[in-house]
């Protein structure tokens, strides 16, 4: 058995496609947990149509917001030895589950990530020129055709994205799951996937990236939403780096400096010299300014130095929602 978790909020039209794709999987022994944080019942109606047809589909509604909270609640609702995560704006290939589990079956593998490919079949909305996004700017894409092993170097966080991620339950519980202050809807808005990957590597764990596990990501965001997403990335980067420093891990300083140089300075220069795009320059400037907002906000939150997590996100809190 495999548990699959999808966090969602206000996207009933998108999540239905994600559910339908999972139901078509070659691997049939799974439970799908859709954790909804919507204010209306549109998503519930979309999910329940599938649940009535397929007993493997389960619906959970919670009043609190946060993608990481939803992932933790969905994971704690099941008991399978492997937990897979995807997002409500994705659809999975029919062999996705098997490709992920084949990697997780190795007892030394803590987590696995897969390819995130733009979904060209998704109809794009009509976008005014002012809202169109420059081709140099991408969100949540990972198309490396080569299998990669991440081990022993906790600063190499290029393993992939939470939209296509899986973990052995044993190691997931050892880490106490996702830090709920990170991620969309949380206090610090982003970086939950990089954070859990960093914690895996810091504990000498192994992460595998496999190109065989493919999901298709629907890029529906216009410029205003893209800009907000990158601002959230920057806040999350600063808050996560500050968390590590406050927990006594000096690697947080390295991560912050690397982010400022690579995602900030490099993108600004690329926008000016290569792409001649004001949007690319704007994205780079956000990465230079907003990490410091995350650092400042982090100082107002309590941390658990041993677990390298923000406090108030313990497993016992998760269990109370299920």
Pairing assessment for the beta strands 82-86 and 2-8 based on DSSP bridges:
parallel
pTM: 0.94
Contact (Cβ atoms closer than 8 angstroms) between residue 142 and residue 161: yes
What single-letter DSSP state applies at residue 25?
-
The whole-chain average pLDDT of the chain stands at 93
* CATH fourth-level superfamily of 2-319: Spore Coat Polysaccharide Biosynthesis Protein SpsA; Chain A (3.90.550.10)
pLDDT for 121 beyond 90: no
Question: Per-residue confidence at 132, pLDDT binned at 50, 70, 90?
Answer: confident
pLDDT at 316: 43
Across the range 20-33, mean pLDDT stands at: 98
Beta bridge partners of 85: 5, 165
- Assign 162 a pLDDT band (cuts: 50, 70, 90): very high
Q: What is the mean pLDDT of residues 271-280?
A: 96
pLDDT (0 to 100) of residue 127: 52
State the pLDDT at residue 123: 65
Pairwise CA distance, residues 149 & 205, whole Å: 11
Instruction: Average the pLDDT over 59-88 and give the result.
Output: 97
Beta bridge partners of 83: 3, 167
The whole-number pLDDT of residue 13 equals: 85
- Using the predicted structure, report yes or no on whether residue 17 has a pLDDT greater than 60: yes
pLDDT computed for residue 62 by the predictor: 96
Residue 117's Cβ-count burial label (10 Å; 0-12, 13-18, 19+) is: middle
**Percent of the chain with pLDDT strictly greater than 90:** 87
Domain ranges of the chain: 2-319
146-155 confidence digits (pLDDT tens): 999 999 999 9
Largest CA distance in the chain: 55
Average pLDDT of the segment spanning 279-308: 97
**pLDDT at position 74:** 98
Question: Average pLDDT for residues 217-244, to the nearest whole number?
Answer: 94
């Amino acid at each position: 058995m495999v548990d699959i978790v999808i966090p969602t909020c206000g996207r009933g039209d998108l999540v239905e496609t994600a559910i339908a794709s999972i139901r078509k999987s070659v691997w049939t022994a799974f439970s799908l947990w859709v954790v909804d944080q919507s204010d209306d019942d549109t998503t519930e109606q979309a999910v329940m149509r599938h649940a009535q047809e397929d007993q493997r589909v389960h619906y959970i509604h919670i009043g609190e917001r946060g993608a990481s909270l939803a992932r933790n609640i969905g994971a704690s609702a099941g008991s399978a030895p492997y937990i897979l995560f995807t997002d409500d704006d994705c659809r999975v290939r029919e062999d996705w589950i098997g490709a992920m589990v084949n990697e997780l079956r190795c007892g030394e593998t803590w987590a696995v990530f897969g390819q995130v490919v733009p979904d060209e079949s998704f109809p794009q909305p009509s976008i005014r020129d002012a809202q169109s996004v420059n081709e140099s700017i991408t969100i949540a894409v990972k198309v490396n055709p080569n299998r990669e092993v991440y081990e022993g170097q906790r600063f190499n966080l290029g393993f992939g994205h939470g939209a296509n991620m899986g973990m052995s339950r044993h190691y997931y519980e050892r880490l106490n799951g996702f830090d709920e202050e990170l991620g969309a809807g949380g206090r610090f808005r982003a970086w939950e996937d990089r954070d859990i990957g960093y914690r895996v590597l810091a504990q000498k764990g192994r992460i595998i990236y496999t190109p065989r596990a493919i999901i298709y990501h629907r890029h529906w965001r216009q410029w205003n939403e893209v800009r907000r997403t990158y601002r959230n990335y920057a806040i999350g980067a600063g808050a996560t780096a500050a968390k590590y420093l406050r927990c006594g891990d000096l690697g947080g300083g390295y991560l912050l400096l690397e982010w400022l140089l690579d995602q900030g300075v490099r993108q600004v220069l690329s926008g000016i010299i290569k792409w001649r795009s004001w949007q690319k320059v704007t994205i780079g400037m956000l990465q230079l300014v907003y990490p410091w907002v995350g650092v400042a906000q982090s100082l107002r939150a309590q941390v658990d130095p041993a677990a390298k997590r923000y406090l108030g996100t313990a497993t016992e809190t998760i269990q109370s929602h299920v």
